[in-house]
Structure 1
Amino acid sequence: MGQPLQGERICLIPIQLAHAPELFKIWSNPKITEFMNIDPFYDEKQAGEMIVYLKNLAKEQKALRYTIFHKEQAKIMGSCGFNQIDTHNQHGEIGYELDEAFWRQGYGSEVVEQLVNHGFSYLHMVRISAKVEAANKASIHVLEKNRFQYEGTLRKAEKSKGTFIDLCMYARLKHDQ
């Protein structure tokens, strides 16, 4: 289920414990975690614990997380993947975050393109969705660029950093290809 995925400038590798030090740097940055449903990490141990948790979800086929590598620089850029996988309904929900050094350069779109292709072609999904805060304009742009359609707002859908927030639902169907 978790094979490497190759984009033009990126490579997605199934997340590994060895990636914890670099992912900690990303997950501890408040600018990056602003729209994530986690507080910035304060200890590298938290990154390792998160990776173990994500790998266990992958073993149960409930999620699939990748580390994003820059091909040319051989540098970790962030993580992405299917936060939830519903094999019965052939549905997956994606999420992603990039180190701010790689923002506004088209990498997010390349990441989403790889996830969508893998979800439809190899995981046999019929629907791929993403939930995003309305204020996260960059992520909304990435989703719209990848032909995701806005389906509505889920009011008070999630508690994030102590506050209930609204989430915009975006989705792409296999027949939208």
Structure 2
Amino acid sequence: MELRPWRKQDAQALAVIANNRNIWNNVRDRMPNPYTVMDALEWIGHISQQQPTQNFAILVNGVIVGNIGAVLQDDVYRKTVEIGYFVGEPHWGKGIATKALALFVEYVEQKFSPLRIYAGVFAHNKASMEVLRKNGFYLESIKRKAAIKNGQVLDEYIWVKLTANQVPIIT
């Protein structure tokens, strides 16, 4: 398994994976559905400007099978990182997301030195919750009626991993 930055030439592969209603049902609405090559090119162009890299293609045997990324928080949350990921449906149930998340958490801890890493998961996405649990995340809270997806009001489960990083307290 390999995590590597997205490239423009990956747009077709990303569109094939991401243009999937079952994936879209588990992500925020800002991800288009249907998901086209143009959507992929636009997104890759946007994230390629992030330094250091925050979003990666997940590859297995050289084939793109998913995405994993981070959103760095700011202001008083500047030592917090939100993570998100998806794996193409043909690759579900193979442990890919679990392995990718382990690699990605290590990267995030080294590059960004967060105190806390978290993911929000819709109540129906038990598989994603299991991926997080296997990587040392714990269920911190359930945000009731937190999201509206497909016309349904959903609870969002907040999974957290606290890191060993320290921040000097200035008084």
Normalising by the smaller structure, the TM-score range is 0.7 to 0.9
The alignment status of 1:86 with 2:73, answered yes or no, reads yes
- Is the Cα contact below 8 Å between 2:121 and 2:128 reproduced in 1? yes
Rounded Cα–Cα distance in structure 1 between residues aligned with 2:101 and 2:35: 28
Structure possessing the higher radius of gyration over alpha carbons: 2
Question: Does structure 2 retain, via aligned residues, the 8 Å contact 1:133–1:166?
Answer: yes
**CA distance in 1: counterparts of 2:122 and 2:138, whole angstroms:** 15
Separation of aligned partners in 1, 2:148 and 2:5: 28
1:5-154 paired onto structure 2 within 5 Å: 10-37=1-28, 38-56=31-49, 58-59=50-51, 64-70=54-60, 72=61, 74-82=62-70, 84-86=71-73, 89-154=78-143
Q: Secondary structure at 1:135's aligned position in 2?
A: coil
Partner in structure 2 of residue 4 of structure 1: none
Following superposition, the deviation at residue 49 of structure 1 comes to 1.5
Unaligned runs of 5+ in 2: 166-171
4+ runs of 1 displaced by more than 6 Å? none
The aligned counterpart of 2:169 is: none
Letter matched to residue 86 of structure 1: Q
| Aligned 8 A contact 1:39 1:161 in 2 | no
**Number of residue-to-residue matches in the alignment:** 161
The 3-state SS of whatever aligns with 1:175 is coil
Q: TM-score by structure 2 length? A: 0.84
State the alpha-carbon separation in 2 of the partners of residues 140 and 174 from structure 1: 19
2:55 is matched by which residue type in structure 1?
R
CA RMSD of aligned residues (A): 2.1
1:102-161, Cα deviation, whole Å (9 max, x unpaired): 211111111110111111123211111000011001000000111101011123333434
Deviation at 1:99, TM superposition (A): 1.0
Q: Per-residue CA shift, 1:82-101, capped at 9, x if unaligned?
A: 0x103663211111100122
Q: TM (normalized to structure 1)?
A: 0.81
Partner Cα separation in structure 1 for residue 20 and residue 42 of structure 2: 17
Q: Is there any run of 5+ residues in structure 1 with no aligned partner, and where?
A: 1-9
- Please give the alpha-carbon distance, in whole angstroms, between the structure 1 residues aligned to 2:151 and 2:124: 17
SS at match of 2:55: strand
